Copies of this chain bind each other. A is one copy, B any other.
């Protein structure tokens, strides 16, 4: 990979470390809960967006509305989401996370928390401050990019 930009190169190395150390734990945890990738994606999406329709979610995940509907039915059965009729257009369903759904996401987050806490502990206050500033900068810049992203209300 002939990329000269040290920012980009470092970012890629960072992804590698992060995926292996943190994300893997999260995914493993979710799998043990019986959640598929699509389900995880749906929960994340709902957490970000607040609410969505069946077809919207399917589009986001790259599957048909039928597949989306079937998957959401399972999440409803597990009480991770709530599926209600949109009063403005009664053909569409409004999907939102239940408290239990939020909780599951938080648990997943905690599954990687061990590593994150270790990482945090190995950093001085000064270093943490520096990194926090850098991450916040990226978050804010990222949010300014591509208006494809609607703010989570």
Contacts and interface: CB of A to CB of B under 8 A. Distances in A.
A11 B109 CA distance: 11
A70 B1 CA distance: 30
A23 to B, nearest CB: 8
Interface residues of A, number: 60
Interface stretch (A76-84, A87-95, A140-148): A140-148
A66 interface: no
Contact of A7 (B18, B27, B44, B123): B123
A62 B15 CA distance: 21
Given A20-B44, A21-B149, A44-B20, A138 B131 contact: yes
Interface string A5-37: 111101111111111111110011001000001
A28 B115 CA distance: 27
Given A7-B123, A31-B62, A134 B130 contact: yes
A17 B151 CA distance: 12
Interface centre among A7, A19, A62, A127 (most CB of B within 10 A): A7
A23 B11 CA distance: 13
15 contacts: A6-B132, A7-B120, A7-B128, A8-B116, A10-B132, A15-B22, A17-B142, A19-B44, A20-B48, A118-B146, A119-B138, A119-B141, A119-B145, A133-B134, A134-B134
